[in-house]
Amino acid sequence: MSIAISSIEELLGKDAEVLLTHVCKTIPKEKLHVPSPTYVDDVWYHSDRNIRVLHNLQRMFDSGRLAGTGYLSILPVDQGIEHSAGASFAKNPAYFDPENIIKLAIEGGCNAVASTFGVLGAMARKYAHKIPFLVKINHNELLTFPNKFDQIMFGTIQKAYDMGAAAVGATIYFGSEESSRQIVEVAEAFDYAHELGMATVLWCYTRNNAFKVNGVDYHSSADLTGQANHLGVTIGADIVKQKLPENNGGYLALNTGNSSYGKLDQRIYDELTSDSLIDLTRYQVANGYMGRAGLINSGGASGKDDFADAVKTAVINKRAGGMGLISGRKAFQRPMNEGVKLLNHIQDVYLSEEITLA
């Protein structure tokens, strides 16, 4: 049973009226390709994706509590590599066991479970036919000393195909010194994944210490993350994962004084975006070919108000024209029944007919 709109409003608190009544006056909703029950037919049917890719995209859209809506709720658990296993699972050691990760995704009504070659491979014969597998093919590991930040391949596309994966995922640190190599590696990997019939999801993250200017961190600025999304769909991502924008003006900040970086147009800030988080997120959607490649926002780290934060992120994503949420730490760093409840709260936002496109 879905929670009522009144419960969603209660979780949103003082932000409820602003988030639920906002009307976007930047990029009109009529320009977007928005999630729907016929999304694959309406959007990807016209592309160069082969029949097997269309099948696996449709399989994800037809799974879990959001089946048939065009929206996605994905459980990602690759933090054992990205953030180290001890730091990630100490709150709930049950998730050292790969089966519990997959059980959480199934019990939580997710469309897919995203994890490592090791986690999904350990349980592939038992579960690959029960929930779509999204295999994360590259990672940044934190055992090298000193720590470095570079996404490297942990397996092959063939291996993901052999374990029955519906999709593969990868991360690129756009803006980093290593990004050129990562772009080439991931583009080649995604091309082979499509050839074998798997869908592709790209974590389009920005990373460069220069993106912090005068004490302001622009790694999650709408303009920089929007361009990261645009690069991601250019190399073949069917779906892009992005952090919710926290600010805007990264390009402006990086072009102050004697510095020069990238290209910009003032209309990005005057016409295509505003201070609204919904409008900033819509700019991310627009950079994914106006929604032809879906935007899923990340749920972020676990904190003291996880349920409220998760619902707020889902409302912003949905009203902006996004495709859903991919939320991990908020769900698995707590008892399983609470993790299921949190995932269901996220899904209830996308199931609610009262929460519409801004």
The active-site residue out of 103, 136, 241, 243 is 241
A 10 A CB-CB count for 235 gives 18
CA separation for the pair 250, 222 (Å, rounded)? 8
Angstrom CA distances, 262 to 172, 178, 220, stand at 18, 17, 17
Residue 241 designated active-site: yes
Which backbone phi and psi does 4 adopt, to 5 degrees?
Answer: -75, 160
Strand-pairing partners, residue 115, are 77, 135
CA separation for the pair 105, 113 (Å, rounded)? 6
CA separation for the pair 258, 155 (Å, rounded)? 43
CB 201 within 8 A of CB 168: yes
A 10 A CB-CB count for 156 gives 13
The separation between CA 230 and the C-alpha centre of its own chain, rounded to angstroms, equals 14
CA separation for the pair 165, 114 (Å, rounded)? 10
Tell me the Cα Rg of the chain: 19
CB 141 within 8 A of CB 151: no
The separation between CA 161 and the C-alpha centre of its own chain, rounded to angstroms, equals 22
CB 269 within 8 A of CB 252: yes
CA separation for the pair 42, 354 (Å, rounded)? 24
Strand-pairing partners, residue 152, are 139
Side-chain half-sphere CA neighbours of 175 within 13 A: 23
CA separation for the pair 101, 268 (Å, rounded)? 41
Q: Which residues are catalytic?
A: 241
